[in-house]
Amino acid sequence: MKVTHVLGHNSNWNVDSYLGQNIGDYFLIIAFSHGINYDSKPLLKKVLDVSMIDLQFYGKNTDIQTGKLTEFSFHTSNINTKENTNVYFEKCAQQAIEFQIEKNFKNIIIPLFYENDEVNDIIYAIKTLNKYISKLDNKNHKFFMTLPLANHIIIDKDKIEEILFVCTEMDICFDGYFIACENKPETRKKLTTDIKIFKNLTRVFKTLKQQEFETIYAYANWDAIIYLAQTDIDYITIGTYENLRNFDIKRFTEDISGGGSKGYYFSEKLLNMVRADDVTMLNDTGNINIIKNEKNIFSDIILKDGYPWNIHKPDVNKNYLFTISKILQRVASISDLEFRKEYVLDLIDKAIKNYNYLEENRVYLNNESSNYHLNIWKTYLANS
């Protein structure tokens, strides 16, 4: 498993943490943020040989914030009309593949034009692009087909089977799949607690792995550990800002960026993000050690009393990158899947105990800082 940095806004934090603290193994360049000249940026040049690029064919110019996507001449964001054929989108995807080959990416992400469509459109794209790849007869690159699983798809096991059925046909020649899943967490929550999503997304990863495909879990949040607990995943992305950790079709079709924030502290002991204000309260009540990450320089810095919390501070974000990458690496290093699951269940148990301890000491965390997710994780994993 390769921990993969998502390079969006403030990519320097990711690259610095990779070069300086050895965090992560690979990079996913976001076309929206970096545009056509990504490879002339000194920062990105340092990691190009361990990078792939998501060209993000999510929506047309008429519907989305395009960022730097329109810099790519073949990009679907250049489409100004409502009416375009599947054949046109296929051509765009083919040019996107050629572009990545020319740029010498080892892992080619095949973009799939997507606007929250029905399963049949995805299936059509998979079949036609598979034919294209089979004719390329290119053994020097690995080809990953994008599977953008919108919320209405991931909650429906029949739709998932229809897609997996086509993805695993005998004539499929992709090396793997690039999976982005729209989890749609509830308001004031960062993670989904929908057990249908746990079940179906687990099945996606398990089935593709069992059928010997490589898998990339793109725009993953820290709940990736419950999927990794049950099957190997070849690449799992870690991202700083929330839009890099939470795939949302809407994010590409309308502007839903939020306002400023003091930021969050990701705690390995709670398996959760704790709001900056709650961190202050934990400090004030003498309970900070209950959530404090061990052997983590970034954590040490930001937990100092009086730290000027801000979402745009590098240490706040690097704390997450360091902590989640350590957890993912530890989980992935357990080759026996039964032991691996037990290990993750144990992590969850300890986190629940820590929450309970805080409550016994009359410290109550609310909203996203609270334990809204661990019980359902535990129930799901223990019974899976």
Partner 1 sequence: MASIELTKELLKHFNISEYKQANPGGQKTVFIVNIDNKKYALKIINFADDRFEREVKICKQFDDNKGIPNIIGIEPFEKNTIIIEEYIEGNDLSELIKDYKGNEQKISQLIYATATILIPVWNAKYVHRDLKPQNIRIRNNGEPVVLDFGIARALDDESITATGVQPYTWPFASPEQYSGQKNLISYRTDFFCLGIIAYYLYTNSLPFGNNRGEIYKAFQDDKLIVNSGNEYIDTFCNNVFKKNPSERPRKIELFLKLIEL
Residues in touch with partner 1 (CB under 8 A)? 161-162, 164-165, 167-170, 203, 207, 210-212
For 232, other C-beta atoms within 10 Å of its C-beta total 15
H or E stretch at 278: helix 276-284
Closest CB to partner 1 among residues 137, 158: 158
Q: Which of residues 63 and 162 has its CB atom nearest to partner 1 in the complex?
A: 162
- Least separation in angstroms between CB 164 and partner 1: 4
> Measured from the CB of residue 155, what is the shortest distance to partner 1 in angstroms?
16
CB 110 within 8 Å of CB 133: yes
| Contact status, residue 276 vs residue 300, Cβ threshold 8 Å | no
Least distance in angstroms from the C-beta of 203 to partner 1: 8
State the minimum distance, in angstroms, from the CB of residue 144 to partner 1: 17
Question: What is residue 246's DSSP assignment?
Answer: S
Rounded to an integer, what distance in angstroms lies between the CA atom of residue 166 and that of residue 241? Answer: 33
Rounded least distance, CB 172 to partner 1, Å: 8
Shortest reach from residue 170's CB to partner 1, in Å? 5
Whichever of 6 and 208 has its CB closer to partner 1, that residue is 208
CB 240 within 8 A of CB 321: yes
**Shortest Å, Cβ 163 to partner 1:** 9
Compute the distance between CA of residue 208 and CA of residue 223 in angstroms, rounded to an integer.
19
In whole angstroms, the minimum distance from the beta carbon of 173 to partner 1 comes to 12
Q: Which is nearer to partner 1, 164 or 201 (CB)?
A: 164
Q: What is the spatial distance between Cα 194 and Cα 369, in angstroms, rounded to a whole number?
A: 18
What six digits make up the tokens of 308?
Answer: 């000027």
CB 174 within 8 A of CB 142: no
Distance of closest approach, residue 205 Cβ to partner 1, in angstroms: 12
Q: Which is nearer to partner 1, 169 or 346 (CB)?
A: 169
Nearer to partner 1, 171 or 336 (CB): 171
Confirm if 237 and 217 have CB atoms less than 8 A apart.
yes
Sequence-separated (6 or more) residues with CB below 8 Å from residue 69: 31, 32, 35, 55, 56, 75, 77
Pairing verdict, β 107-110 and 272-275: unpaired
- Residue ranges of E strands in the chain: 2-7, 26-30, 51-54, 107-110, 142-149, 176-181, 214-218, 235-238, 264-267, 272-275
CB nearer to partner 1: give 209 or 292: 209
Closer by beta carbon to partner 1, 169 or else 186: 169
Q: How far is the CB of 175 from partner 1 (least distance, A)?
A: 14
Q: Amino acid letter at 334?
A: I
Helices and strands counted in the chain (H then E): 16, 10
Q: What does the alpha-carbon distance between residue 43 and residue 46 come to, in Å, rounded to a whole number?
A: 6
Contact 110, 174 (CB under 8 A): yes
Residue 332, C-beta contacts closer than 8 angstroms, at least 6 positions apart: 1, 228, 232, 233
Reading the block at residue 2, the tokens are 């390769």
